[in-house]
A and B are shown apart, each in its own frame.
Chain A
Amino acid sequence: MKTPRPGGIEQGVSPSPNRTGAEPLGAHHWRSLEELQGSIEFQKALEREFPAGAAELADGLDRRSFIQLLGASLAASALGGCTSAPAERILPYTHQPPGLTPGNPLHFATALSLGGRAVGVLATSWEGRPTKLEGNPLHPSSQGSAGVFEQAALLQLYDPQRARLVKHRGVPVAWKTFLTELSRRLPQMRRSNGAGLRFLLEPTASPVLTDLETRIQQAFPASRFYHYEPLSDDNGRRGTQIAFGQALEPQWDFSRAEVVVSLEADFLASSGPHLRSTRAFAQRRDPGQPMNRLYVVESNLSITGTIADHRLRLPPSEIQTFALELLAEVGRQPGLGFLLGTFQGAGPPGGGAHAKWARALAADLFRHRGRSLVLAGPGQPPVVHGVAHAINAFLGNIGQTVQFIRALETAGDSGVASLSALADDIKALRVDTLVISARNPVYTAPGDLDFSSKLALVPNSIYHGLYEDETWRYAAWGIPAAHPLETWSDARGHDGTISILQPLIAPLFNGIPELELIASFLGVVDKSAHQILQEFWIGRAPGGDFESRWDQWLASGLIPASAAPVVSATIRLDAVAAAIQAAVKSRRAPAKHSNALEIAFCADYKVYDGRFANNAWLQELPDPITNLTWDNAALLSPATATRLELKRGDVVSIEYRGRRIEAPILVLPGHADEVISLPLGYGRTGAESVARDVGFNAFVLRDSSAPWFDKGVTVTKQKRTHPLAITHDHWSMEGRELAIEDNVQHFQQHPGELDEHRGPVEALYQVTYDKENYQWAMAVDLSRCTGCSACVVACQAENNIPVVGKQQVLKSREMHWLRIDRYFTGSLEEPGVITQPVACVHCEAAPCEYVCPVNATVHSDEGLNEMVYNRCVGTRYCSNNCPYKVRRFNYLHYTQQTPSSERMLMNPDVTVRARGVMEKCTYCVQRIERARIHSRIEGRAIRDGELTTACAQACPAQALTFGTLSDASSVVARLHRDRRRYDLLHELGTRPRTAYLIRIKNPNPELA
């Protein structure tokens, strides 16, 4: 392939112990343990080209019998072809809604909440059917991008398994029956001041809902509201209480932070203002300007951990010690000596096990004082948050890289502590009527609370839920909830910006809006959610004509200048010191047990806390770190797995505090030793069939006294094994140089090393595609990509990509046009990680095109590698000849069984493919053609930025860029000229139109 040369380009980063300088660049990237160890199964899987059984149909028909049947079916289809096409009807409106043009979609702004904070979205609506959700560029929490959960909310809207009927003890009744029953009881409740009345809601900062809460508490002074979300950041709020004496919410500004230290804070993924953080963080990953540097201290490998410049593996319980060590080191910096006295004995005497790390971090932080940032994750105890705030305060970061707003919720705890308080309330038989609109607390409650039997003690429990899930089963009343896209409400973003939520569609399954349910306790039964919301806002709209203001709020998706004001925060040294003293004193001595591990719980990147478990898009999305689909697995480090003689797929029994579950093992390089991480959200037992029997339920082991991590868990190997559908061994590119990374110092000195991966290639027959007005192209910046997978879901929604199920994924038949390859580099224990989105790269000299016998894949004059479904006969030659392995074949008619409600979700601009057809990324050609027609009608060219693909649109890191190379000033053309640009498999001479920019890391030389 090439002559080996000394010194790999990425030598500065995570040098592999096995690697010699003579190996080709990138050759030591590995995708899984099995590949690294050269396991026989992996070799066999590679040699087979397609996995075992790929030639068989689902019903066990082999190829020979298929051909026998083929003759008969051919004759039958010839006869069938004689009939004419079925008659089609066109059904026009009686009154066409104003502003609507059939055939052209409309866009509406609304917002979706997770963890009580909203992200603004724009919904694409075709004649009343929402088909795509994108971020609202005006909304500060979104800035135009949307994460996997926001985008997949659409599939949830159309989910035919959503609850449809109001039920009383399992018997369907009318909504009116509930209201009548309630009105019969209300006078009694009023007399008793609502003594037995309790509400359990999601944490929310919604102004209208908060107002309803206040009004109910005025009407029923003895009633109480609890808020619960299993992954709530109570620790963070308590941390601000320690550090500043008040409940505050931090507003990080990663665009100004040059050194970031994360103490198990996964700030680039899943929760909190991660879209906003990712955007700002990624902008500082370009070596063209001063790069930021990220240190991550964590136990489980997280998305944030994969992009870190330095990562320290520690069990979660040790992170507190490290934080104190870091604080002590910061105190040793010149000018901060006064701290030493205050925090005497905070860190381990004489420096702990990670003294080198702490020293280097402290020095780096101090060098960048005022431009650095330390943050702690929700799983870490409040004192760690307090320490992080203290370090920020000493370094002068407050007001620079982090500011504070007052906590948007007035309610206090909204995590496990809050649910425990409610459980105690119920146990004391103080609860007569319990209204639950928090998502599925019976399932998400820690195992020791035994919430289902608690619920049985409540005479009148009312559950307002999207599904007939676990909680529905135990509640006396089940009320189907309206989806957030079906109802009016309001919500606040992470900086407090208020959005008005508007419905995109009338409730599909008779869902009742949360506002109407809560308001019915005030005796309001004749008002719609819309009226309740408008009546609330009509008195609060600042000045002027309400109607026009309201319309403006709806159009922009937010209320202008409604962000919460920044408050000044002064660190309370003595309080932090006292908290540290208390924490150090109360640290339990680790229980000595031969097999005892530390247990840690984590949010799942795909189903969050289980609320998205019935969402097939998310179930089939490969986990960004493990690439696991349709399952969760207990995660262990390679060393621990070796010690316990466990390997991937082995089922273990996990025992903790007398509770026990069985779970399959997944060995994850980079995981902390002697810790077992359990992703939450699986093992559901509700009525939803997609979620049922997928994975194991880790909430059973969760304990209300230690909801995030604890010691003393016993792991015993079982005889059974469990197949895990992991996509990372599929489509392997045989260890060639694909994902390239370098460190900034080396790259600045040797920019020419990339030249062998780019530039013109010799060819006998040169074809060019530069005659046309547009030359479509894409650039993928690996420095920015975090692997969050928002692009994959965006592509799925935009291009009608089917979900195939676990059995098909096991046969490598997943259909995602865009996949994110995740490579490990370096050692098993301390691997580097690099993520690389790969879709069709639209080669100018495309190998697939030469081999198609029916011209079903051809090149357009603008450089697109086109796939013509109606010509394709399914030989799969193109896929065989594709060096990038980006073509996907419809082995079965995956879309045939799409439920009728989910058919409404299909993008009408994209063909729904049938069995026997090859498909792949089209660069969203439907968007190109729409933009072309639009611009040509207006008699102008398509402007740069006017048109982008679904993946690039969704990307919070702006790692993907789409545009035309013909305009030299376009962003994509500039990136194609970037000195970091390289081509994937350049030596093959395919001349791909998708260029990659190498990942640059910015390691600290002191830690090299």
Chain B
Amino acid sequence: MSALFPRSANTVLRVVVVVLLATPLLAVGALYVYAYSPLYTSQYSQVAQVIQFDHRHHVSDDGIDCRYCHRSVETSPFAGIPSTSVCLSCHEQIWNRSPLLEELRARYFTDRAIPWARVHRLPDFVYFNHSIHVNKGIGCATCHGRVDEMALVEQVAPLTMGWCLDCHRDPATHLRPVQEITNMTWEPRGDRDQVARELMRQNQVHTRTNCTTCHR
């Protein structure tokens, strides 16, 4: 009487057992990979806006400081999206007939807000405050990347809690002099560690990692 199962059935069984055991582990691993991948964190995806505002042109070509438009960044939790009147302060003089700006003018004269799409979005239970970061020497480019090279603004940092904590635990190497915060290309000169230590002292930086620092 021949065997009910051929010898190869053993191998099949082993493979099946290994696959069954590995699947949940792999699935969990895959979820982790997904959660930290740009697919989930919405990094590097260009967000369409109702008006094609080009930071490259305004920052690199015209040399306008970030704070000209984002004017509450030093005083408020919210960096501030410029009111339409700020756009018009230049654009009633230049490019005042450009068809690209038709939407801008239409909304200005009918007093309708421009519905800018949010690019950097934190969950509602996170209370991020721009003013303290800027006043302690965290540059715009540190979190927002080289906005001066972006046609459409995209999110370069993962904005995960782990990423926040990396810096909150050891902010030294992310600091710069307060007067350089809007500089897109600032690099420390000389010994990086020494500059970092000096900046910690100079900017009176105090690391905060308590939950309520961000969650209230």
Q: How far is the CA of A89 from the CA of B118 in the complex (A)?
A: 5
- For the side of the interface on B, what is the size category? 35 or more
Q: How far is the CA of A90 from the CA of B83 in the complex (A)?
A: 11
Partner of A861 from the list B117, B129, B210 (CB cut-off 8 Å) is: B210
Supposing A92-B114, A870-B123, A929-B212 touch, asked if A104 and B85 sit within 8 A by C-beta, the answer is: no
B216 A922 Cβ-Cβ under 8 A: yes
Closest Cβ neighbor of B109 among chain A residues: A94
Supposing A94-B111, A870-B215 touch, asked if A85 and B121 sit within 8 A by C-beta, the answer is: yes
Closest Cβ neighbor of A85 among chain B residues: B121
A101 partner residues in chain B, CB cutoff 8 A: 72, 75-76, 80
A936 B206 Cβ-Cβ under 8 A: yes
A910 B118 Cβ-Cβ under 8 A: no
Q: How far is the CA of A103 from the CA of B117 in the complex (A)?
A: 18
A591 partner residues in chain B, CB cutoff 8 A: none
> Which of B116, B131, B212 is most buried by chain A, counting CB atoms within 10 A of its CB?
B212
B115 A91 Cβ-Cβ under 8 A: yes
**Chain B's nearest CB lies how many Å from the CB of A249?**
45
Partner of B211 from the list A92, A868, A933, A939 (CB cut-off 8 Å) is: A868
A912 partner residues in chain B, CB cutoff 8 A: 124
Q: How far is the CA of A85 from the CA of B123 in the complex (A)?
A: 9
A87 B118 Cβ-Cβ under 8 A: yes
**Chain B's nearest CB lies how many Å from the CB of A33?**
41
Supposing A870-B215, A925-B212, A929-B213 touch, asked if A95 and B76 sit within 8 A by C-beta, the answer is: no
**Chain A's nearest CB lies how many Å from the CB of B206?**
7
Q: How far is the CA of A94 from the CA of B74 in the complex (A)?
A: 21
A926 partner residues in chain B, CB cutoff 8 A: 127, 216
Partner of B78 from the list A89, A93, A102, A864 (CB cut-off 8 Å) is: A102
**Contact string against B for A residues 899-932, beta-carbon threshold 8 Å, 1 for contact and 0 otherwise:** 0000000000111100000000010011011000
**Chain B's nearest CB lies how many Å from the CB of A319?**
50
Closest Cβ neighbor of B112 among chain A residues: A94
**Chain B's nearest CB lies how many Å from the CB of A841?**
17
* Interface assignment of A210: CB less than 8 Å from any CB of chain B: no
B85 A96 Cβ-Cβ under 8 A: yes
> Which of B72, B111, B204 is most buried by chain A, counting CB atoms within 10 A of its CB?
B72
A910 B72 Cβ-Cβ under 8 A: no
Please tell me the number of chain A residues within 8 Å of chain B, measured between CB atoms. 38
Closest Cβ neighbor of A857 among chain B residues: B211
**Chain A's nearest CB lies how many Å from the CB of B127?**
7
CB interface residues, A 845-868, toward B, < 8 Å: 858, 860-862, 864, 866, 868
* Interface assignment of B155: CB less than 8 Å from any CB of chain A: no
Partner of B215 from the list A103, A861, A868 (CB cut-off 8 Å) is: A868
* Interface assignment of B135: CB less than 8 Å from any CB of chain A: yes
* Interface assignment of B29: CB less than 8 Å from any CB of chain A: no
Supposing A94-B111, A101-B75, A937-B135 touch, asked if A909 and B127 sit within 8 A by C-beta, the answer is: yes
* Interface assignment of B81: CB less than 8 Å from any CB of chain A: yes
* Interface assignment of A645: CB less than 8 Å from any CB of chain B: no
Q: How far is the CA of A911 from the CA of B212 in the complex (A)?
A: 11
B118 A96 Cβ-Cβ under 8 A: no
A911 B216 Cβ-Cβ under 8 A: yes
Supposing A89-B115, A102-B78 touch, asked if A933 and B129 sit within 8 A by C-beta, the answer is: yes
B210 A94 Cβ-Cβ under 8 A: no
CB interface residues, A 54-93, toward B, < 8 Å: 84-85, 87-93
A96 B83 Cβ-Cβ under 8 A: yes
Supposing A861-B210, A933-B131 touch, asked if A94 and B216 sit within 8 A by C-beta, the answer is: no
* Interface assignment of A178: CB less than 8 Å from any CB of chain B: no
**Chain B's nearest CB lies how many Å from the CB of A298?**
43
**Contact string against A for B residues 77-95, beta-carbon threshold 8 Å, 1 for contact and 0 otherwise:** 1101111111000000000
* Interface assignment of A869: CB less than 8 Å from any CB of chain B: yes
Closest Cβ neighbor of B121 among chain A residues: A88
**Contact string against A for B residues 101-136, beta-carbon threshold 8 Å, 1 for contact and 0 otherwise:** 000000110011111111001011101010110011
A95-B84, A860-B210 known, 14 other contacts, Cβ within 8 Å: A89-B115, A89-B116, A90-B115, A90-B118, A91-B116, A92-B84, A92-B116, A94-B85, A94-B107, A94-B108, A104-B76, A860-B211, A936-B204, A937-B131
User: Which 5 pairs between the two chains have the least Cβ-Cβ distance?
Assistant: A103-B78, A103-B76, A91-B113, A88-B118, A860-B210
28 pairs from A and B in contact (CB 8 Å cutoff): A84-B42, A87-B117, A89-B118, A90-B81, A91-B113, A91-B115, A92-B82, A94-B107, A96-B83, A96-B85, A101-B72, A102-B76, A103-B77, A103-B78, A104-B72, A862-B210, A869-B215, A870-B123, A911-B125, A922-B216, A925-B212, A928-B212, A929-B129, A929-B212, A933-B129, A936-B135, A936-B206, A937-B74
